[in-house]
Structure 1
Amino acid sequence: MNDTASRPTAHPLVRHGKVGVLLVNLGTPDGTDYTSMRRYLKEFLTDTRVIEWPKIAWYPILFGIVLNTRPGKVGKAYESIWNNDLNESFLRTYTRNQSEKMAAALSGHPQVVVDWAMRYGQPSIASRLAHLQKEGCERILVFPLYPQYAAATTATVNDKAFETLLKMRWQPALRTVPPYHDDPAYIEALAVSIEKHFAGLDWEPERLLTSFHGIPKNYFEKGDPYYCQCQKTARLLRERLGWPEERLVVTFQSRFGPEEWLQPYTDKTVEKLAKEGLRRIAVINPGFVSDCLETLEEIAGEAGEIFLHNGGEKFTHIPCLNDSPEGMAVLETVVRRELAGWI
């Protein structure tokens, strides 16, 4: 009897030998309407990495108040910065562009497949990991697009990726990208973007605010390294620019709820500087890889209005690195380093 006749053979359609790269950003609603916003906010605000309150205390507030009142308000904010040409948020536009440009940059390695996902909303991490596996990716690099590590951002991306593996029979090997807040390529790209932006102005900013997304102060006290990494990014950036310490100020934005968050707050600092007599300021968001609601509406829009309303004369927002050559150089540098040994 021929023993080989009874042996199972590999399915001819099973692909293998590929290496995947998955770029993951925070997320975006599918539209600005109430239903889309509520669905997005529900997924975001039920994440226990984001809101660490006990569910018994948080859920009555979330489902009784927040998810009934906030979708309309946030939807209007998204409408003001929506990419109407593509009918999507700019975060989705830039993340897709980053994925496509990364694929082009790595085209010399035909075994590499690049894709993108969102932690909240679509396309989901689970769906894109499944897609990469079907494409034959036996090894996948998951890249949370956050230069500074925070449990509410980086960790929740990693959580979702590993949660997806729990349901896979044939798991790919997985690597996750560590924070790159002090990477020379990242600091250089930020500095170049500032220098280019300033060169295009017919006035000189007296102060530059580096506005990072905030986290509750107690998250930092529990051991989250985010605050320290933001401070290091700002210090290295100031040193690279050759500026005195007082010209570059670290602030934190986007607080939510009644508890204390990391300070100083961006909006309060902008108001204070104007009232103290500063007339020309610039703001950059080093912790955001792509422009989004928090940069375009909250900073370029609201913060600028606060400054001018309180006596300021000139305000400018420096765009995020997005899919610019400088921004892509940073992402490519990190990806190539983290793929070492795989390609």
Structure 2
Amino acid sequence: MDESRQMPEHDPSPDPNQPRLRIGFVLTPRFTLSAFATFVDVLRLAADDGDGSRPIRCRWRVLSPDMAPVQSSCGMRIEPEERLGDPTRFDYIITVGGLIDGGPGLSPDQAAFLRRAALARVALGGLCTGVFAMARIGLMDGYRCCVSWFHHQDFLAEFERMRPVSDQIFVVDRDRISCSGGVSAAHLAAFLVDRHLGRAAARKALSILMIDEPMAGDRPQPGLPLELNARDPLVRRALLAMQQNLHAPLSIARIAKDLGVGRRKLERHFNADLGLPPADASIRIRLAQARMLLARTDRTVTRIAEETGFCDASHLIRVFRETEGTTPDLWRQNRVPLAQDAP
């Protein structure tokens, strides 16, 4: 594949009788209905004037090798509209994932269809855990992909040589697009609408869906609980990287490099937003995880030290005593159980 190729460009003089954005959907067993429906709704609202829902400027079809209904993770079924056929009739083929262990995954026919699309240089995308399905058949090799923070470790466990992006709502890497699911599907769809139909169409679709404005792909993913409440997007993304690598903490220089900034710039942003350097923030996040494990599990201090990135139990005990004034074991014995600690 020509890795220099970019995504399909907006045609400045499109045929008025043809849709300017054509998308085919491949649904995996137990796919996430909300991500699929949200993405389609943006297309639907951008495709016509008002909310007429006519597929004039956009066209979308659910594809299938056998036309059998596909069951979503919530139990509802979607009826396919077309057989797989020739992938070049679409600008994008989007794979919609769902439950990681929800079934057999892509069928051989679906996998062959996606590989044909890749060879034909049709842009491919993954919604929610759709990138898992694509990675399993080798279609994400050499590409960056977006994975929800909730499934970050699941992805690493299955694809050891790949490093997913879990601090952004969606990722565009040449002719691959992916998003973390949920409302980020709307923002990825709006990105494509903006690219092919214009910004006004994208904003109109989101407005009708009561979404304030389009979000850029590098917006931090919401939802991941953090020990520190940061407002600066750069700081939030750095905190997410720390949270996602508790067992093997990244150096501050590595985090800054991954975020595309210098270490000094990252430190300035941390000091301005949180009043402490990144290294101290990393310690606080790891200590918060250690306290949670002490409170809610019976794991040993040695095991907890390993899982939270401390050198050994002695290192955790020393840092814990400096901040809490006691050892982890005594803290665990003397703390008052809270309601949320109950299983």
TM range (shorter): under 0.3
- In terms of fraction of residues, the more strand-rich structure is 1
Q: TM-score, normalised by structure 2?
A: 0.23
Higher normalized contact order (CA 8 Å, seq sep 6+, divided by chain length):
1
